[in-house]
């Protein structure tokens, strides 16, 4: 099974990824995540804007997926910290995201991620995060 297929199979088993309703379009080691619009993603019913937490979750999952794609991890990488910048309010429409692994270290990955809607050059939010990518086998910490 290709790493992309493994990622898809993995996401299908993560309940929260299903709750969010995101999917990944994978082309080799490149991936675009898609978040189809659903009413439940709304944070402000008055102005029909996406919830900041829904956008943040989408960015975080996209970043995790990209790390998963580039590594041989069996479990999802653990988030250490993340910063989300909200640039525009998320409209009631589909959103897309791409993540870039700035540095993949032995233990820690530094990742940036960007989400947009109608126009790629008008991002709605960006994320900067660190993930723990240390492999664990037999429950013990690996080198």
Partner 1 sequence: MADAEKPDHLEIMKTFAHQMINVVPWAKELGFELTDVERGRVFGNLTWSEHLLGDPEAGVIHGGVVTSLLDNLCGAAVVSAMTEFQSTATLDLRIDYMRSSEKGRDIIGEAECYHVTRTVAFARAWAYHDTRDKVIATATGAFALNDPKRWSSGLSRAMSKEGKA
Residues of the shown chain interacting with partner 1 in the complex, contacts defined by CB under 8 A? 13-20, 39-47, 50-54, 56-58, 60-61, 75-76, 78-86, 89
- Using the minimum distance from each CB to partner 1, give the nearer residue, 4 or 52: 52
DSSP string, 34-46: EE---GGGEEETT
Shortest Å distance, C-beta 69 to partner 1: 17
Q: What is the DSSP string of 52-69?
A: HHHHHHHHHHHHHHHHHH
CB of 59 to partner 1, least distance (A): 9
Would you say 27 or 34 has its CB closer to partner 1? 34
| Closer residue to partner 1 (CB): 87 or 104 | 87
Alpha carbon distance 62, 21 (integer Å): 12
Beta carbon of residue 28, minimum distance to partner 1 (angstroms, whole number): 26
Contact between residue 5 and residue 18 where contact means Cβ atoms under 8 Å apart: no
Shortest Å, Cβ 132 to partner 1: 9
How large is the angle between the packed helices 3-13 and 52-70, nearest 10 degrees? 140
If the CB atoms of residues 29 and 88 are measured against partner 1, the closer one turns out to be: 88
d(CA 106, CA 48): 42
| Contact between 113 and 90 (Cβ < 8 Å) | no
């Amino acid at each position: 099974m290709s790493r992309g297929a493994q990622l898809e199979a993995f996401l299908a088993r993560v309940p929260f990824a299903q709750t969010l309703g995101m999917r990944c379009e994978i082309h080799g080691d490149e991936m675009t995540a898609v978040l189809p619009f659903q009413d439940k993603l709304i944070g402000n019913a008055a102005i029909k804007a996406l919830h900041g937490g829904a956008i943040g979750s989408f960015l975080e999952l996209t970043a995790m997926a990209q790390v998963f794609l580039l590594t041989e991890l069996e479990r999802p990488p653990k988030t250490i910290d993340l910063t989300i910048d909200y640039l525009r309010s998320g409209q009631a429409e589909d959103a897309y995201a791409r993540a870039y692994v700035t540095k993949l270290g032995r233990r820690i990955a530094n990742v940036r991620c960007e989400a947009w809607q109608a126009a790629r050059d008008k991002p709605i939010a960006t994320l900067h995060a660190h993930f723990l990518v240390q492999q664990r086998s037999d429950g013990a910490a690996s080198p």
